[in-house]
């Protein structure tokens, strides 16, 4: 009898070859302040950056400010993006239209998938990128109000963000 691939696919190749395991876990305390705060009151916490995960993924907690904010529809060529709503309501663009997501809702966007998000009133979500590209400079530069207009296209290209 043959089993369906999706249920019995093999694990990836081993990336650790030690015999006994090691103490290599790290903890980001929940009471640590946000890493980035936007003028609008939006905050971003770097839970697991691509640097910390050896490029496997980047995970961020996004908390919206009082007023609605978020990017218009765009896509990425090299990274997938995942959204998991923790609290409140977040409007997500799934490539076809805007849907309202609440706590526990999840959206997966593969490379090339058009997406966007909007939220307000302190709604929170997790953003995950895979592989773990260097999104921190992107978040920090936008929080400072940059880049300059003449540098914007190059900045977006460097950060794999393509507007539609």
Residue 156 CB-density burial (10 A; 0-12 exposed, 13-18 middle, 19+ buried): middle
**Domain range for residue 140?**
42-163
CATH number of domain containing 81: 2.60.120.10
What pLDDT score was predicted for residue 160?
A: 98
Q: Are 92 and 98 in contact (CB under 8 A)?
A: yes
**From CA 6, how far away is CA 100, in angstroms rounded?**
30
Q: Is residue 16 part of a domain?
A: no
Asked if the structure places residue 15 within a domain, the reply is: no
Number of other CB atoms surrounding residue 134 within 10 Å: 15
108, part of any domain: yes
Residue 121: predicted pLDDT: 98
User: Could you read off the pLDDT tens digit of each residue along the chain, which spans 164 residues?
Assistant: 455 667 788 888 999 999 999 999 999 999 999 999 999 999 999 999 999 999 999 999 999 999 999 999 999 999 999 999 999 999 999 999 999 999 999 999 999 999 999 999 999 999 999 999 999 999 999 999 999 999 999 999 999 999 99
Q: For position 131, what pLDDT does the model report?
A: 97
Q: CB-based contacts of 22: which residues, under 8 Å, 6+ apart?
A: none
Residue 80 within a domain:
yes
- Within-domain flag for 111: yes
SS3 126: strand
Residue 138: φ, ψ to 5°: -60, -55
pLDDT, residue 2, reads 57
State residue 3's pLDDT score: 55
State residue 4's pLDDT score. 61
Confidence (pLDDT) at 5? 67
Q: For residue 131, is it within any domain?
A: yes
**Domain presence at residue 8:** no
Cross-sheet strand order for the sheet of 80-87: 36-37, 43-48, 58-63, 124-130, 80-87, 106-109
pTM, 2 dp: 0.92
pLDDT at 6 (0 to 100): 72
| 136 part of a folded domain | yes
The pLDDT of residue 130: 98
Number of domains in the chain: 1
SS3 annotation, 57-114: CEEEEEECCCCCECCCCEECCCCEEEEEEEECEEEEECCCCEEEEECCCEEEECCCCC
């Amino acid at each position: 009898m043959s089993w369906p691939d999706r249920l019995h696919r093999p694990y990836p190749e081993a990336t650790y070859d030690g015999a006994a395991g090691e103490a290599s876990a790290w903890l980001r305390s929940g009471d640590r302040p946000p890493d980035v705060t936007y003028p609008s009151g939006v905050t971003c916490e770097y839970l697991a950056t691509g640097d910390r995960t050896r490029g496997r993924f980047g995970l961020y907690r996004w908390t919206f400010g009082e007023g609605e904010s978020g990017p218009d529809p765009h896509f990425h060529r090299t990274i997938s993006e995942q959204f998991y709503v923790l609290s409140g309501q977040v409007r997500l663009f799934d490539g076809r239209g805007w849907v309202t997501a609440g706590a526990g809702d999840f959206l997966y966007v593969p490379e090339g998938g058009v997406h966007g998000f909007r939220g307000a009133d302190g709604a929170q979500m997790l953003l995950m990128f895979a592989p773990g590209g260097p999104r921190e400079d992107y978040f920090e530069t936008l929080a400072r109000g940059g880049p300059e207009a003449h540098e914007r296209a190059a900045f977006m290209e460097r950060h794999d963000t393509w507007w539609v």
